[in-house]
Structure 1
Amino acid sequence: MITEAEFLKIFKTTKPIIGMLHLRPLPGSPIYDGRGLKPVIDQALEEAEKLVKGGVNALQVENFNDPSYFPDNAPPETVASLAIVGHEVHKAFPDIPMGVCLLADPIASIAVAHAIGAKFVRATIYTEASVDVSGLALRRPHEILRYRKFLDPSIKIFADVHIKHSAPLVNRPIEESAYDAAYFLADAVILSGKHTGFETPLEDVKKVRKVLPDFPILIGSGLRPENAQNLLRYASGAFVGTAFKVDGKPENTVDINRVKKLMDIIERIRRNK
C-alpha cells in the first residue's frame, strides 16, 4: 500500500481536485457524428483551459459520451482516439498531471497513459465482478498489475469501489471491498454515488477511512461547494465533472466561474486543515 503522503507527491498539494474532460463521442460510439477527432480535440482543449485557469490540480480524459461502454475490452478505435485526444491535451498543458479513464478497460487505460505521459488511470472495475450497465464486467487485478509492471510501473491505479451505474455481483460492505482493492495494490480507492453527479454518501467515506486510515481515498462523484467541507474532512481529494458544468448538468460544457467558486472553497479547506 502507498501512503497518502506518497499519493500527494503526484499533485503537489493536499486535497487535489482532478477536473474531468468528458470528451465528445469518439469514433465507434453509437452517437459519433462522423466528423473526425478535430471537434473532440477542440472542445477538450477549450474545457481544459477553463479547468486549469480555474485552479484544478490535474486533468483526466474520459470517453464519457460513448454510451454504452464495453464492459471489458475497449475496441481499437476507442483506444486510438482517446490516445490522440489525450496527447493533444497533455501537449497543451504539460505541467498539469494527467489521468486516463478509458471506460471500462483499465489495461487499455494504462496503455494510453503510457503513450501520452499520463501519471494515473481510473480503473472503474478493479477487484470485483460487477453487473454493469453494459453487462457483466469481469476485471482481474492480477492481469492489470502484471500489464502495468510490463509496460510502465510508474503509472498509478486509482480503483473505484462499488462503481456508479453498476452493482457488485456479490453485495459486500463497501469498506471490505475498499480494503481488498488497497490490499491488491491499488494506489487509491474511489467512492462515488449511484450515478454520475450523484453525491458520494458521507457514511461510505467514513467507513472506508476507518479501515484505511492512511490510504488515499478519492470522491468519485457529486462533490459540490455545499458538501466539499464534509466530504474532504475524510477524503484525500476528488474527481469533479458535473459541478464544473454549466447549470451543474454533466452534458453541458465547463463553466469557469463554477470552477473558480469550488476551487476557492477547496483553498479555504486546505488553509484551515
Structure 2
Amino acid sequence: MTWLKDVIGTEKAIIAMCHLLPLPGDPSFQKEKGMEYVVEMARKDLRALQDGGVDAVMFSNEFSLPYLTEVKTETVAAMARIIGELKSDIQIPFGVNVLWDAKKSLDLAAATGAQFVREIFTGVYASDFGIWNTNVGETVRHQYRIGAENVKLLFNIVPEAAKYLADRDIENVAKSTVFNNRPDALCVSGLTAGTETDSQILKRVKDAVPETVVLANTGVRMQNLEQQLSIADGAVVGTTFKLDGKFENHVDLERVRAFMEKVKAFRQR
C-alpha cells in the first residue's frame, strides 16, 4: 500500500488539474474582469471536477504563460487568494503547483494547507525558458524551515519543454533521484500539457524504482487510461477533462464523469 491510500483515499489515484486563468502580472491577465473573474472560473472548474468524482485536485497557474523559473510574489499572492476563497468549496485532498518554482510551490502549500506539490526539484535542463537549474538541497531545507515537512513532494523527472543537459537514461535518473532525495512520487510527462506520456518510458521508470509511486503526468485519456494505469500508480489529468479535450477550455462535467466511471471500473478488476 502506498501513501496515496492514506492521503488521497485510493490506489490508482486520479489527481485532477484546476488550471487557473492568467493572474496579475501575467501577460494575458484580463484586467477589465479582474481577480473576481479568475476566482469564479476556478470555482466553476473545481465544482465540475469534484462533481465528476475525481480523487484529488491540484491548483496550478497553468495560464501564466510564458512561465518563469523564479516566480514573482504577486503570482503566489493571487493563487493564495484564490485557494483561500475556494476553501469552503474544496471537499477532496488538494495540492498546488506554482509553475516553475519549487520554493514558491512549498510557500503556497504551507499557506493554504495543501497536502502535496508537484515541481521540477532536480536536474539542469536546456528548455524553452532558457538554461533551467535547480537546487533540491536548498528547496528541501526550505520545506522544513517553513513547517511544510508533511507536504508530499511529486518530482517531475521528465520536464515538459525541456531536456537534461547531461546524457542520462531515464532509469538512472529515476534511481539516483530516489536514492538521493526520497521523493514521494515521480511524475513522467509528455512534451507539453495534454501530450500522452510514453508508456514505454513510464514502464522503464516504474521497473527501475518499483517501491516508489510513479504517476503518468500528462495525456491520460479515455483511450489509454487502462494501459497507463496498468503501469502507473495513478495519474495527473488536466486537458482530458476539458470541453472537447482542448487545453484552453474549461472543465466539462460529463467528460469527467465518463472518465472516472471507467477508472473506477478498472480499479475493481
TM-score, normalised relative to structure 1: 0.94
Alignment-mate amino acid for residue 145 of structure 1: V
Pairs within 5 Å for 1:128-139? 128-139=123-134
- The secondary structure found in structure 1 opposite 2:193 is coil
User: CA shift at 1:271, angstroms?
Assistant: 0.3
| Matching of residue 238 in structure 1 with residue 235 in structure 2 | yes
- The secondary structure found in structure 2 opposite 1:26 is coil
Alignment-mate amino acid for residue 115 of structure 1: A
| Matching of residue 18 in structure 1 with residue 15 in structure 2 | yes
User: CA shift at 1:145, angstroms?
Assistant: 0.8
Alignment-mate amino acid for residue 121 of structure 2: Y
Residue 97 of structure 1: aligned partner: 93
Alignment-mate amino acid for residue 264 of structure 1: E
Gaps of 5+ in 2: none
Alignment-mate amino acid for residue 125 of structure 2: S
* Residue of structure 2 aligned with 1:49, choices 35, 47, 71: 47
Alignment-mate amino acid for residue 52 of structure 2: G
| Matching of residue 141 in structure 1 with residue 136 in structure 2 | yes
User: CA shift at 1:79, angstroms?
Assistant: 1.1
Residue 62 of structure 2: aligned partner: 64
Alignment-mate amino acid for residue 94 of structure 2: M
- The secondary structure found in structure 1 opposite 2:34 is coil
Deviations 1:253-273 (A, max 9, x none): 10011101110110011101x
C-alpha separation in 1, matches of 2:38 and 2:189 = 27
Deviations 1:163-200 (A, max 9, x none): 11111122311122122222212110000111111100
- The secondary structure found in structure 1 opposite 2:203 is helix
Gaps of 5+ in 1: none
User: CA shift at 1:162, angstroms?
Assistant: 1.8
Identity %: 33
Residues 224 and 243, structure 1, Cα contact 8 Å, conserved in 2: yes
- Count of aligned pairs between the two proteins: 266
C-alpha separation in 1, matches of 2:121 and 2:167 = 15
- The secondary structure found in structure 2 opposite 1:64 is coil
* RMSD between aligned residues: 1.1
* Residue of structure 1 aligned with 2:218, choices 213, 221, 229: 221
User: CA shift at 1:96, angstroms?
Assistant: 1.0
Pairs within 5 Å for 1:164-183? 164-183=160-179
Residue 266 of structure 1: aligned partner: 263
Which stretch shows the higher mean deviation, 242-251 or 79-88?
A: 79-88
Residues 4 and 10, structure 2, Cα contact 8 Å, conserved in 1: no
- The secondary structure found in structure 1 opposite 2:57 is strand
Residues 127 and 180, structure 1, Cα contact 8 Å, conserved in 2: no
C-alpha separation in 2, matches of 1:181 and 1:235 = 17
Residue 37 of structure 1: aligned partner: 35
Pairs within 5 Å for 1:107-126? 107-123=103-119, 125-126=120-121
